[in-house]
A and B are shown apart, each in its own frame.
Chain A
Amino acid sequence: MTDTRSNDPGNTGTEAGVGELFGDGGQFHAFFNDPRWALAIIRGTVLEAAHPQIGGALIDNSTFVTHPWRRLRNTVVSLQRMFGPDDEVRRREAARLNRLHARLRGTDAHDRPYDAMDPEVRAWVVATLFESGVTMCRLSGQPLEQDAIERLYAEFRAYLAVLDGDARHLPPTVQEFWPYYDRVVEERLENTEAMRVILYRLFDHLPAPPLLHGLPTLWAAGRALVGPLIGVITVASLPEPFRRRAGLPELPGAQTLMQSAYLAVGLARFLPDGLLRTDAVVDLLSLSPGSDDPRARTVSALRDRMKRAGALIRLITPLPPEEPDPDAGSAARRSAEEFFAAVLDQTGDGYLDWPDLAAMARELAGRLDLDEPEETRLYDAFAGWWRELQAALDTDGDGRVSAREYAVAVPSLAGPALIRVAEVLFDVTDTDGDQRVDADEYRALFRAGFRRDTAGADGTYTRGAFVRDFLAFMSGRERSTPYDPLLADA
């Protein structure tokens, strides 16, 4: 579907138009804090995932099932950087995304290759974002003016151009966009596994955002109600031809429900300005209780209190005459299976595989905002660790490590390659190279200040202590380290 007509330089939107297309005045910015985006993003992601190449890449590599809140925050931060006013920030973010995508290639379950750098694929991602934005306005009864649509389209094309160097794979005008869009929907999209996961599994099993970990029952109750509803609303908002092709259910009343949902959420525009800010909401959702953000402090003070109250209640409850020792283990350590699910299996498919470790490297590199060559060093260290793990743990030779294989062989985990990972992580965290992680460097990695027991006597964190703590987390399965919010929480 390469569109050759757009070789015409006036349409590429790369050089001249960029400055005025991004920044605070853009159509995208006008949308950014619109709560309807919550619905539109889900819809857009489903349409993305229905593309076989993207679906394959998501299933293999993405951490959104196990760590959705972290993933959401990364996406929002990335969009903010890409659509922000600063060209240098945009250039760096595009380079980072390109490096990240270059690492995402492989073959899906049907042996079809996928490649996140394929320009056709990337054009489709941008197309779904644009179309979902336009459709969300239509569905909530306040369609955009034609020139607003054109401007939004130009902004998204410029976004693609910054990423790819040009926007050849998106038609140059909105008029040409719709036939392109319909064609992809009718010919390319499929009922992929990734799409089904988003529609039917993600929201039924959505883990609580880190701040709400203390309220598991409340969260589960709310989720049981809202989860299926989101599924129905999203299905009803998908293009009809695709619903037919993918064999998605048509429920009576679903259309009305969907439109009411969009309408209701759209009413939020009558709220006072600045009350709803996407970045604030997303920050809050991905905030980990250990961070020293004042909001987190409030909530985590509350949580700590609940934890202490729980401890107190357990301690003062009279013991049954002769307790038959339940399976309750020490809270400071977790079982091998638990650690496997919470930390190692980042993609949530039940197996430890390279994409899981790559996801860890990706998260760490993102946190530290690494450039080349540090990013590659980190990935290489993780790759070395993966080879070590595979050699030591993959007893049945299927190329990946199952939870059972891991649990059996756990004690032998802290090999030289893992130590290497710790050292490289220390090197890239220690940005000024003084062999100590100071408070600012620590904050970049963990988004929290030193704890009372972390820093040495001189207020810094030495290489030895850093490596020790990392290994304790990765092999000793120690809980309540600063790595928990980084790798284990949602």
Chain B
Amino acid sequence: MACVMDGNGRWAARRSLPRTSGHLAAETTVIDVIEAARTAGVEWLSLYAFSTENWQRPSAEVDFLMRLVRRVVRKHAALLHARGIRCRFLGVADPRIPPALARDFADLMTLTGENRGMTLTVAFDHGGRRDIVAAARSLIRGGVPAEAVDERSFAAHLPFPDTPDVDLVIRTSGEQRISNFMLWQVAYAEWMFPPVLWPDFRAPHFVECLRAYQQRDRRFGGVAPDANGERRP
């Protein structure tokens, strides 16, 4: 399952604080959600932290975010590792990412790469279309004939091809958009749009979303409601 972490700016605006303090407040939620997901037995959790479009934000905010992410990564690295969580960073291709941050990402991936617990994918500098374009490029470079391309072989060229399809996406703050997030993997995902802003989102909200998801009737385009609620998110 996946979370689009939306609403930090609005959270801060409602409190007449600078946008950056919204990001600061988001840290608690991130850790809370990771813990809640782990407890609920979620095996694959993706968090949308920073999109390729987010570079258009004011450079001061981007700088702040970079520093914040670095601090958060370093602060929680040991804990994540101790909890047996395998961390990966999806995207992270832009040269604007500070090298020190990129090294921390790489270090965290090295540190937790052998863990067998939950896989946490942080989409950072991620764009769903860009991933699809990258996969297409790699297919063309690989000289794969057109007839040989099917959905499965295409998916094998996406970054982190072992990531399964996303079953449930939670987008906080009530916004109902996809925003270029893991486009390929969310094809059959159920979406939830809780109105609560990300910094206020807590484990109970998360569990509530999971429960609501389990009530849903997933048909994957068919009519027989036989896949109802059986699959674990």
User: Which residue numbers of A lie inside 8 Å of B, CB to CB?
Assistant: 304, 307-308, 310-312, 314-316, 319, 323, 325-332, 414, 419, 423, 452-453, 456-457, 462-468, 471
Contacts and interface: CB of A to CB of B under 8 A. Distances in A.
Given A315-B73, A328-B100, A464 B106 contact: no
B162 A453 contact: yes
B219 to A, nearest CB: 24
Contact of A467 (B99, B106, B142, B162): B142
Contact of A330 (B102, B111, B153, B157): B102
Contacts of B196: none
Nearest to B160: A453
Interface stretch (B74-82, B124-132, B171-179): B74-82
A331 B105 CA distance: 10
A419 B144 CA distance: 12
A315 B78 contact: yes
A463 to B, nearest CB: 7
Contacts, number: 96
A59 to B, nearest CB: 36
A315 B100 CA distance: 11
A303 to B, nearest CB: 11
Given A308-B110, A419-B143, A464-B148, A314 B103 contact: yes
B186 interface: no
Contacts of A414: 141
Nearest to B78: A316
Contacts of A331: 103, 106-107, 110
A357 B74 CA distance: 42
A195 B148 CA distance: 54
A452 to B, nearest CB: 7
A310 B153 CA distance: 36
Contact of B111 (A308, A326, A456, A462): A308
B103 A467 contact: no
A462 B153 contact: yes
B114 interface: yes
Interface in B108-157: 108, 110-111, 113-114, 138-139, 141-144, 148, 152-153, 156-157
B162 A315 contact: no
A95 B165 CA distance: 52
A423 B102 contact: no
B161 interface: yes
Contact of B108 (A315, A332, A457): A315
Contact of A316 (B74, B105, B138, B157): B74
Contacts of B61: none
Nearest to A322: B67
B104 interface: yes
